[in-house]
Amino acid sequence: MSTPVLTNVRDIQSEDLPGRTIAIAVDESEFSENAFQWYVDNLKRKDDVLVLIHCPEFYNFTMANTAVVEQLLVDIEERVTRLENKYKEKLQALRIRGKFRTGAGRPGEVIVEIAKQENVAMIITGTRGQGKIRRTFLGSVSDYVVHHSPMPVLVCRVDGLMHTN
């Protein structure tokens, strides 16, 4: 048997490929800043599209009066706008295409659902490095994302080590 010969093979450059879409979970913490910076330093391609996903922290408003609830919602909206503007400036400065998406609910669920909607190739998230006891009682967003995401997840840990599922 002879080995088949390939003809008309051409080298495919990254410019020939459509941009990949990467999700990065962001909040106001240094941990999400570190995850964003890790992406920029290690994974960024010029044709990437970033989906920055944020899930604002909502509180149980059942015991609060209307004026308090209204003020809390205004505060949350202002914080989200500041965060969006901060990352918009970063994207513009780095010439990265992207969008900022928010969702209400449990953060891990929101991140995975938006990532599915956006058909991302990968999710990048930071982690607060909680201990086992605290994580057991409070849960961990990064643990949830790792265990429920259908796409690869890269977790940027506090100690600088990266973990993937």
Domains and CATH numbers, the chain: 14-127+152-164 (3.40.50.620)
Per-residue pLDDT, 135? 47
Per-residue pLDDT, 69? 79
- Strand partners of residue 49: 21, 97
Which residues, given as ranges, of the chain have pLDDT below 50?
Answer: 1-17, 134-138, 160-165
- State how far the Cα of 151 lies from the Cα of 145, in Å rounded to an integer: 10
Per-residue pLDDT, 54? 95
Per-residue pLDDT, 61? 62
- State how far the Cα of 90 lies from the Cα of 69, in Å rounded to an integer: 32
Helix (H) or strand (E) run with residue 51 in it: strand 49-54
Per-residue pLDDT, 40? 96
CB atoms within 10 A of CB 80: 17
Per-residue pLDDT, 12? 37
Per-residue pLDDT, 13? 41
Per-residue pLDDT, 57? 77
Per-residue pLDDT, 60? 61
Per-residue pLDDT, 11? 39
- State how far the Cα of 33 lies from the Cα of 25, in Å rounded to an integer: 10
Q: Give me the chain's average pLDDT, please.
A: 81
Where on the phi/psi map is residue 25: left (φ > 0), alpha (ψ -120 to 50), or beta? Answer: beta
